[in-house]
Structure 1
Amino acid sequence: MEIIIGYLLGAFVLVLFFISLFKMVSNRMKNSNNETNERINYIEKKRIEDIEKK
């Protein structure tokens, strides 16, 4: 009986681990996309300002 409870607890912990791992990866991807978009916007803005100066 104790072995079954141990396996169930281990499986539960494993599921929680994979859920937290998935959340962490999706969060990093979202942050990466935001940083990339900010860089693109900055470069476009700078390019427009350079064109307006000419």
Structure 2
Amino acid sequence: MPRICTIPLDTAKVRLQLQKKGVAGDGLALPKYRGLLGTVGTIAREEGLAAL
């Protein structure tokens, strides 16, 4: 699989993993990212494609 596909997915995976650690102490906060493709879409929409 070319890098253009794997790097954005890896970026999304890391964001999801970090979110789980950050939200663990706060039970009231809703997660910002939901699912792998939803995370890619959120990053692209909020930060632009270059962030991926």
Q: Between Structure 1 and Structure 2, which shows a larger proportion of helix residues? A: 1
**Interval of TM-score (by shorter of Structure 1 and Structure 2):** 0.3 to 0.5
TM-score, with length taken from structure 1? 0.43
The higher-RCO structure (CA 8 Å, 6+ apart) is 2
The structure number with the bigger radius of gyration is 1
